[in-house]
Amino acid sequence: MRSAERTPVLITGGAGFIGANLASRLLSQGEEVLILDNLSRPGVEENLAWLQRQNPDALDFIEGDVRDFDETRRAVSRACFVFHLAAQVAVTSSVDEPRHDFSVNAVGTLNVLEAVRMRAQPPPVIYTSTNKVYGDLGRLDLCVNGSRYEPADSVVREFGIGESQPLSFHSPYGCSKGTADQYVLDYTRTYGISGIVFRMSCIYGPRQFGNEDQGWLAHFLIRALANEPVILYGDGMQVRDVLYIDDLIDALLLARQNVASLSGEVFNIGGGPGCVTSLREVLALISEMQGREVEIRWDEWRIGDQRYFVSDTSRFRQLTDWSPKVSLEEGVARLYAWLSDRRREIHSSPAIPGEP
């Protein structure tokens, strides 16, 4: 039975990729978890069922939406801490439906913050933002090194992009996430709530059902396993720092542990200079893993696409002693194994009556 004396950790978007992994870690540590999720993304019902099998007595679920203030307020009223992960996550979707994007990311975040502010003892909030708040970094001088771009500036090349990089919201997604990002920081100043912002790079790992618009590394693996082509937009030499999900969860929990001293801070969180790859290089790694070439098809550059982004994670590392532990090769191998196992389970499952 759930203890009446203990208050749960609230995770908005808790059935998603990051939320489910975070919830699983918290449950394994004996904590109680409350998830608020509208189950709108493919695969999240599977993640929720996975969590419910782990510890049903310590997990509570509300099928709801952060755009509904009353529902959000009821969830926040029960929480001792809030991880606000619920979001519209795709640049392309934001271009197609900017009003929807803004209502989820900006209005939804404001609802969470207002619900927190209205508490007599407001619970702290950690918000997961994005490196897209820095725009396309079009003024960053780049050169080509083999199959990747790299900065001409040796300091940026060594350390990556820091939090002092000027904000430059490109695409409706960048605008909505940037708006939410700034609201969290301002609520710590104006209302004195405890809040931390993570501006995240490419996170990947098990329980990620990636598609072309979001979760690109998982998407590449899913296409490769199905022996289907991968579309690269631009020239494929775009560079990203990738971070395995377990390392992100470590960072989130360290931020929670140190929330009193870190409140009001923003951190760039990714694999950093030690986990850097280009899109072409990832596909070469997957091809080697599979023993056959992944077919590549090409298309035009997309709005707001960054040719280079590597997070300078040194501030967070200095303040918490955090650093990524899982290498690119190990992380991709883990995700490949998980997706392969899941694919086998799906194909070996008996057909549902009435379905082809």
Q: Which are the catalytic amino acids? A: 173
In whole angstroms, give the CA distance from residue 127 to residue 116: 13
CB 165 within 8 A of CB 88: no
In whole angstroms, give the CA distance from residue 234 to residue 300: 5
Strands (DSSP E) along the chain, which ranges? 9-12, 33-37, 59-63, 81-84, 125-130, 142-145, 148-151, 195-200, 202-204, 230-233, 239-244, 266-269, 276-278, 296-299, 308-309
CB 104 within 8 A of CB 173: no
Q: 85 Cβ partners below 8 Å, 6+ apart?
A: 11, 12, 13, 14, 16, 18, 19, 22, 128
CB 27 within 8 A of CB 101: no
Q: What are phi and psi of 151, to 5 degrees?
A: -70, 145
CB 272 within 8 A of CB 244: no
User: 5 is written with which tokens?
Assistant: 């004396």
